[in-house]
Amino acid sequence: MIQTTATGGPPPQSGGPVDQAFIDDLVLASHILAEQGVLDGYGHCSVRHPHAKDRYFLSASLSPAVIAASDIMEYDLDSAPVDQRGRKMFLERFIHGEIYKARPEVNAVVHSHSPTVIPFSVSTVPLQPICHMSAFLGGGVPNFEIHDAAQITDLLIRDNYLGRSLAHSLGRYDVCLMRGHGSVAVGADIMTAVYRAVYTEVNARLQAQAIALGGQIRFLAQGEYELIENRTDKNYERPWRMWKERVRKP
Ligand SMILES: [Zn+2]
């Protein structure tokens, strides 16, 4: 039987083979994000195809902690699958395709419902960088209000229009909250996107703790977060290697 897309056309062509280590890193990223409490039974992370800017990889619709390399699927930027083979797809895959369209320099996307971040998506209290590890939150964190895009919804990004609306809210930032739902974190590579997703959750926890203490909170000043973010010796490799070792199966 010839496979067709939802629109009846042939499926998109593959962007070509990639190294097994590249796919393994995507699998490990999902396991890391589950272990860190950023992804639970839901949420997902993706990477852009390293040799084809208009393709990306994302697992079939499974909990991030249990995915294996054989669950990784390839999509075009409209989020049509190259080779579905009956596998169930994430309803919210359009988040990834539309961000890759809007942000050519972004090569990895994490979408999570990490629990400490969500209160900041429904509150007037802005998420702000509270320590040097989360300087990437400096300059403001946008909040996607889905009601502005489509009024009453189930809050899920179920199509390309909603994905495009979310990508518009993300703009040039590294993280975007999604009101009453979760957040997205992006990066030039999967290591950076995972780091940002983990430390967005950490920052939200620390900020809530600082608020609970009462008194004034002194967040990173503009000069501080800009200095940290402009450093060329940021060592994301150190936690990335540790996280990978922790989740690697013997
Ligand atoms: Zn979601």
Single out the residue of 30, 88, 27, 94 nearest to residue 61, CA to CA: 88
Residue 105 annotated among the catalytic residues of the structure = no
Range of the domain at 173: 20-242
Tell me if 98 sits within 8 A of 166, measured CB to CB: yes
- Confidence at residue 68, expressed as pLDDT on a 0 to 100 scale: 96
Please state, in angstroms and rounded to a whole number, the distance separating the CA atoms of residues 68 and 90: 15
The residue with tokens 């359009």 is 94
Tell me if 99 sits within 8 A of 172, measured CB to CB: no
- Confidence at residue 233, expressed as pLDDT on a 0 to 100 scale: 82
Please state, in angstroms and rounded to a whole number, the distance separating the CA atoms of residues 25 and 158: 27
Residue 42 is part of a domain; what is its CATH number?
3.40.225.10
Task: Tell me the CA–centroid distance for residue 182 and ligand 1, in Å.
Answer: 6
| pLDDT of 167 over the 80 cut | yes
- Confidence at residue 248, expressed as pLDDT on a 0 to 100 scale: 84
Residue 234's pLDDT band, with cuts at 50, 70 and 90, is confident
- Confidence at residue 249, expressed as pLDDT on a 0 to 100 scale: 72
Residue at 13 is within a domain: no
Residue 250's pLDDT band, with cuts at 50, 70 and 90, is low
Residue at 43 is within a domain: yes
Within 10 angstroms of residue 131's Cβ, the number of other Cβ atoms is 15
Task: Tell me the CA–centroid distance for residue 167 and ligand 1, in Å.
Answer: 14
| pLDDT of 79 over the 80 cut | yes
**Total structural domains within the chain:** 1
Task: Tell me the CA–centroid distance for residue 184 and ligand 1, in Å.
Answer: 9
Residues 108-126: pLDDT tens digits?
999 999 999 999 999 999 9
Single out the residue of 175, 139, 190, 148 nearest to residue 31, CA to CA: 190
Residue at 247 is within a domain: no
Task: Tell me the CA–centroid distance for residue 111 and ligand 1, in Å.
Answer: 7
Please state, in angstroms and rounded to a whole number, the distance separating the CA atoms of residues 166 and 146: 8
- Confidence at residue 1, expressed as pLDDT on a 0 to 100 scale: 45
Residue range 94-99: average pLDDT?
A: 98
Q: How many residues does the chain have?
A: 250
Residue at 5 is within a domain: no
Task: Tell me the CA–centroid distance for residue 250 and ligand 1, in Å.
Answer: 31
Please state, in angstroms and rounded to a whole number, the distance separating the CA atoms of residues 180 and 61: 22
Amino acid at 231: R
Among 92, 145, 224, 226, the one annotated catalytic: 92
